[in-house]
A and B are shown apart, each in its own frame.
Chain A
């Protein structure tokens, strides 16, 4: 019990370290500086990699779903976003709809 909380505090601190480093680094930079643009580029690529990992190497509940459902639904997110006038709701809604339909077809 107490040991678990020790682990929890250590994990929290191990996370917060990166946030403090971010605060320190942000003090040196301007919004439109090349360093910020590069940082944004890295963050965008990193999140994109995280997104596709949900498709090819999912964990937990998504393991119970088909690769094709996940891949096609993610494609539907992009198509829905642009086709419905660049709206976030359009993209997320299309993805959710396609995903639920494909998964219920598969299990039904």
Chain B
């Protein structure tokens, strides 16, 4: 009998990740999904299908675009394309999240499950917390965290659907405003390199500019252009220091 453990994941990370969902990020996300539920109600979207967008799409911008497209009566191809464009940003986020979880020789299929749960909040939470999670527990931790967040947000969306007619507008709008505030502050707190400040500022400046030129691709263009410029500045700074 071999005493050496086989390379693999430590699934005790799964319940730990699920517990990590109870966080400020979780509360902010819940506020956003209550807002999403209120949106479903406001356009008379079918409740069950609306709630099903949570686990099936699992990225709030994509869900909002989906509901909006159906509401406008767009066709299958146009709707899928619009949702897919909002999802492009999930590719770099998936790369970044999974880069922190690699275990040599371990099975790769759980990465496909974790990838389904990747969203901005998951990336931000993993940036903040995953350093303290032992390597072999990280992927299970992500799946536990993502699964718990996803399941809870179905409930919060339903809550928003039923609260929609009962909340005063300023209060409901404040719930929605939690999302950008949280995204911004989490970006700041997740910064490890000085050039990331430049990326943040350049993205914020280029966003409105690209929105004027190409409103469908504004985030994508601002991200690539602003992020690349910041990264080039980083390279120049390194060269000058030497």
Is there a chain A Cβ closer than 8 Å to B123's Cβ?
A: yes
B92 at the interface (CB under 8 A from A): yes
Contacting pair B185 A81 (CB below 8 A): yes
Nearest B residue to A76 via CB reads: B181
Q: Name the residue on B nearest A29 (C-beta).
A: B99
Complex CA gap A52/B158 in Å reads 28
Closest chain A CB from B227 CB (angstroms): 3
Task: Encode contact with A along B200-242: 1 for CB under 8 Å, 0 otherwise.
Answer: 1111101110110000001110111111101100100000000
**Residues on A with beta carbons closer than 8 Å to the beta carbon of B208:** 52-53, 56-57
Residue of B46, B172, B181, B182 near A61 (CB, 8 A) is B172
Complexed CA–CA distance, A16 and B220 (Å): 17
Which segment of B7-15, B56-64, B149-157 sits at the interface?
A: B56-64
Instruction: Check A96–B178 contact: CB distance below 8 A.
Output: yes
Is B56 touching A31 in the complex (CB atoms < 8 A)?
Answer: no
Q: Give complex CA distance A73, B176 in Å.
A: 13
A16 to B115, CA, bound (A): 8
Instruction: Tell me the chain A residues, 37-60 only, with Cβ under 8 Å from chain B.
Output: 37-57, 59-60
Do A42 and B223 have beta carbons less than 8 Å apart? yes
Interface membership of chain A positions 67-108, coded 1 if the CB is closer than 8 angstroms to chain B and 0 otherwise: 000100110011001000010110110011001100110010
Q: Does B179 contact A (CB under 8 A)?
A: yes
Measured between beta carbons, the chain B residues less than 8 angstroms from A47 are: 89, 120, 183, 187, 203, 223
Supposing A45-B200, A48-B187, A100-B170 touch, asked if A36 and B95 sit within 8 A by C-beta, the answer is yes
A48 and B185 contacting across the interface, CB-CB below 8 Å: no
Q: Number of A-B pairs whose CB atoms are under 8 Å?
A: 296
Determine if B80 and A11 form an interchain contact, defined as CB atoms under 8 angstroms apart.
yes
Given A43-B89, A45-B206, A86-B189, check contact A54 B179 (CB 8 Å): yes
Contact B81 A14 (CB under 8 A): yes
Q: Are B181 and A18 in contact (CB under 8 A)?
A: no
A43-B96 contact given A81-B189, A96-B174, CB 8 Å threshold: yes
- Give per-residue flags for A2-37: 1 if the beta carbon is below 8 A from chain B beta carbons, else 0: 001111111111111111111101110111000011
Contact call B96/A39, Cβ cutoff below 8 A: yes
Contact assessment for B230 and A41 in the assembled complex, using a CB-CB cutoff below 8 Å: yes
8 Å CB contact of B211 from A4, A18, A53: A53
Q: How far is the CA of A10 from the CA of B82 in the complex (A)?
A: 11
B87 beta carbon closer than 8 Å to chain A: yes
Given contacts A37-B193, A45-B206, A45-B222, contact A14 B83 (CB under 8 A): yes
List, sorted by A's number, 13 A–B pairs whose CB atoms are closer than 8 Å. Answer: A14-B87, A17-B87, A19-B94, A22-B98, A30-B99, A45-B227, A46-B223, A46-B224, A46-B227, A51-B204, A53-B207, A88-B182, A92-B28
Given A7-B70, A45-B227, A54-B180; 20 other pairs, CB 8 A cutoff: A5-B52, A7-B66, A19-B90, A21-B94, A23-B108, A23-B112, A26-B98, A42-B224, A43-B93, A47-B203, A49-B226, A60-B35, A61-B172, A62-B177, A64-B169, A74-B180, A77-B184, A78-B188, A86-B188, A92-B24
